[in-house]
Structure 1
Amino acid sequence: MQLVKVEDKRQVDAFHQLPYIIYKDDKNWVPPLRMMVEDVFNLKKNNALKKGNACRWVLYKNDELVGRIAAFHTSGYAGQFDQLTGGVGFFESIDDQEVANTLFDTAKAWLESEGMEAMDGPINLGENFFNWGLLVDGFMQQSYGMNYHPRYYQQLWENYGFQTYYQQFSYHLNITSPDLPERFWKIAAWMSKKPGYKFEHFRFKKCEKYITDFIEIYDKAWNKHDNYKRIDRQDLRDMISQSKLILEEEFIWFVYRDGKPIAFFMMIPDVNQLVKYFPSGKMNLLKLLRMLYLKRKKVINRCRVLVMGVVPEFQKSGIESAIFYQLRQVLLKKDWYDEMELSWVGDFNPKMISIFEAVGGKKMKTHLTLRYLFDRDKEFKRSSIIVD
């Protein structure tokens, strides 16, 4: 086998060509936009790289392209665990354990040389909203930013020695359905009109204000959990800037109590329902204009919830249900949206799982975040449960 570091245009092309080999007969797979993947490895586009490093490879066997992988680490992610932990992602391989082991060994050796003591995967170099987790259940067309994999990948990862650090569940529902739990909506309507609370949706013209509020809520909601890492303001700016053409202002909500931010909710249209019409994964001005045309034609009927957070003292107060009440009013107007994907919630967060089930969500997909400890004698610990 021949392992080649991705350093020139030829190998970048090979890196993007491989998924078309792996998924050539899989109608559920939607090719990611090439520019979005390349932005991950671009220091000028990905702020996370300024606090870390990344490397990627492609693998040939008998002159045939058979695998690829990327390895990376950032100071924000590595230092939050018992051991310095890097990441691997963008893994693709034929159904061959030797090929997979070669890729994993390569990533492990590089991460060790960078001072890491463990690796998580398949994860992304940046926020966990996108390209995070190994699909093991729910082999359907994935929404935008969600990983899709062949069924045999789980065996390749686990045979190497990766273990489940946590499970990620995705729920689906039609929030406008009259069959959703009546009691839930009564509580939601009551809570949304309670004195002292203000609900408002995002506006681009006040972007910096909402970024500040988002960070404040996020830090308070997550800083006691071992998956917490501080969000960089510039990362949020970049994400909003890169997604501006597809974001809907009324899909992002903030809640305030006596003027102080206490909760947020962020949802995006499922752009994969447009991307599938451009199977090359390459984008140009003409394709972009056609994509915008299709969006105006209301081709997208699904939206994806990216993240939701409530500061601890207001959890279990009904705030979450009140946010869904606001969204329901929006989607009743935008009635071409008939499916909402709540993705994803970790098994370490039973409170949010209960909310997704209370609103009528049905579990449809499961992804795994896996971990491999370089010291094979070290005790493996799963992610801790969020408690009150």
Structure 2
Amino acid sequence: MPLLEVNSPARIRQFLDLPARLYQNQPQWISPLDPEIEAVFDPNKNPSFAHGEAIRWVLTNAAGTVIGRVAAFINHEAPQPDPTLAVGGMGFFECEDDQAAANELLEACRQWLAQRGLAAMDGPINFGERDRFWGLLTEGFTEPNYGMFFHQPYYQRLFEQYGFQLYFRQYTCYRAVDTPLHPTFSKAFDKYARQYPDFRFQHANKRNAEQLARDFHHVYNLAWANHSGVSPMSLDKARDLVKQMKPVLDERLLWFAYHHDEPIAFFVSLPELNQMFKHVNPRFGLLSKLHFLWQKRQYQQRRDKKLFGVIFGVVPAWQGQGIESALMVHARAEFMRAGYQEIEMNWIGDFNPRMLAVTRSIGARIYKTHTTYRYLFDRERTFERSPIIR
């Protein structure tokens, strides 16, 4: 079966078009936007190319029909928790239910990475941040949230029969917004309300993009940058994220807690954009952009909206002191006033028991599971799962 490098407009089109055929009979599937996939592989748009490289292929059968696709990549500045194990990545995998075809795609990734001195590969992951295109959907085959792939159920078998092993799971949790919170949340709310203005809780002001970026940058680097596989974020990167979010941002969904003027916690969420993008052509040309704006306006007027929890964090000095509980009380009340009825919280790793406990405490349940696999090139080496955050 010919394996062809994606290095021309025609091959790019084949790479992008394959999922529509594979998922044509699955109404739950929502296509990512083509420009967002292509941005991952554009050195002018993806900063990971400054310290890395990527390649992608399509696989065809004897008749020339594309039956699979995949990408492999290296980011030499990605955190490597184990200095004895250099790990690369593979992702954007799609394939017919054919183990031989899947093996050829995955083996191409292994060989390309091994030739460049890597000793293992994680997948399917993104050539970039963890907040999108990360993990294989293995449970909860419902409509995907924005930035996440829907996968065929048989992909799990293709990965595991090739030899991938479970490295970690990341969960998407669900709750109805109007589900009552435990009384301890109200106690935390009252505790910090009595200490106003030393402590205050407020949603973002999108007109002050610079302050939003600075507050997000501060909490993120203290709360997340010490996690395995997570790099510190520059202020310029935070500014860029705010710029990207601004066209779809609902400021009532971005909440911060402050001690005096220092941000000490955040809960960042967005309207669930796939509820709009699912009505739009994924090529996202001019007419599609206009259609999206119309869909956005229609969605904003609804009273049964869904929001998507992007990231939650508390700086270490304030963890375990009820800040997150008080923040959730404030946020929940505003969500309900704004007409949001459902919330899905994405990307909660099984290596983070503290965050899983927080989601349980607010009455959320695990709704979907994405799995990140690892394949060790030395098949005699002892496999170890992702370390637990203590």
**TM-score (ref. length: structure 2):** 0.93
Matches of 2:283 and 2:194, distance apart in 1: 49
SS in 2 for 1:316: coil
Q: Which residue pairs with 1:15 in the alignment?
A: 15
TM-superposed deviation, 1:241: 2.4
Contact 1:80 1:228 in 2 (8 A): no
Contact 1:3 1:60 in 2 (8 A): yes
TM-superposed deviation, 1:342: 0.9
TM-superposed deviation, 1:88: 0.8
Q: Which residue pairs with 1:121 in the alignment?
A: 123
SS in 2 for 1:303: strand
**What one-letter code is carried by the residue in structure 2 that aligns with 1:256?**
Y
Of residues 298, 317, 320, the one that matches 1:316 is 320
Alignment of 1:63-78 (within 5 A): 63-77=64-78
Distance 1:210 1:181, change over 3 A: closer
Q: Which residue pairs with 2:341 in the alignment?
A: 338
Distance 1:246 1:11, change over 3 A: same
Of residues 102, 106, 109, the one that matches 2:111 is 109
Deviations 1:317-364 (CA, angstroms, capped at 9, x unpaired): 1111122112112212212x2110011200111111111111111211
Deviations 1:285-307 (CA, angstroms, capped at 9, x unpaired): 22222212222222672111111
Matches of 1:194 and 1:93, distance apart in 2: 57
Matches of 2:29 and 2:372, distance apart in 1: 20
Q: Which residue pairs with 1:39 in the alignment?
A: 39
Q: Which residue pairs with 2:354 in the alignment?
A: 351
TM-superposed deviation, 1:218: 2.3
Matches of 1:190 and 1:240, distance apart in 2: 31
Distance 1:224 1:45, change over 3 A: closer
TM-superposed deviation, 1:126: 1.3
Matches of 1:218 and 1:76, distance apart in 2: 19
Deviations 1:77-131 (CA, angstroms, capped at 9, x unpaired): 2534341211111100001111111111111111122332211111111111111
**What one-letter code is carried by the residue in structure 2 that aligns with 1:219?**
N
Matches of 2:319 and 2:265, distance apart in 1: 9
TM-superposed deviation, 1:29: 0.2
Matches of 1:153 and 1:55, distance apart in 2: 21
Distance 1:156 1:292, change over 3 A: same
SS in 1 for 2:50: helix
Distance 1:259 1:238, change over 3 A: closer
Contact 1:81 1:226 in 2 (8 A): no
Matches of 1:331 and 1:289, distance apart in 2: 27
TM-superposed deviation, 1:216: 2.8
**Total equivalences in the alignment:** 383
Contact 2:182 2:362 in 1 (8 A): no
Deviations 1:201-242 (CA, angstroms, capped at 9, x unpaired): 223343333333323322222344323322244443333323
Q: Which moved more, 1:235-244 or 1:352-361?
A: 235-244
Q: Which residue pairs with 1:381 in the alignment?
A: 384
Matches of 2:184 and 2:57, distance apart in 1: 50
| Uncovered stretches (5+) of structure 2, i.e. residues with no partner | none
Contact 2:257 2:263 in 1 (8 A): yes
**What one-letter code is carried by the residue in structure 2 that aligns with 1:13?**
R
Contact 2:217 2:238 in 1 (8 A): no
In the alignment, structure 1 residue 360 sits paired with structure 2 residue 381: no
**What one-letter code is carried by the residue in structure 1 that aligns with 2:329?**
Y
TM-superposed deviation, 1:308: 0.9
**What one-letter code is carried by the residue in structure 2 that aligns with 1:354?**
A
Distance 1:76 1:199, change over 3 A: farther
Contact 1:40 1:125 in 2 (8 A): yes
Deviations 1:240-296 (CA, angstroms, capped at 9, x unpaired): 323321111221122221322211221011111111112x41112222222122222
Q: Which residue pairs with 2:373 in the alignment?
A: 370
Alignment of 1:165-180 (within 5 A): 165-177=167-179, 180=180
Matches of 1:161 and 1:261, distance apart in 2: 44
Contact 1:29 1:141 in 2 (8 A): yes
**What one-letter code is carried by the residue in structure 2 that aligns with 1:12?**
I
| Uncovered stretches (5+) of structure 1, i.e. residues with no partner | none
Contact 1:85 1:116 in 2 (8 A): yes
**TM-score (ref. length: structure 1):** 0.94
Q: Which residue pairs with 1:130 in the alignment?
A: 132
SS in 2 for 1:11: helix
Q: Which moved more, 1:160-169 or 1:193-202?
A: 193-202
Matches of 1:8 and 1:191, distance apart in 2: 61
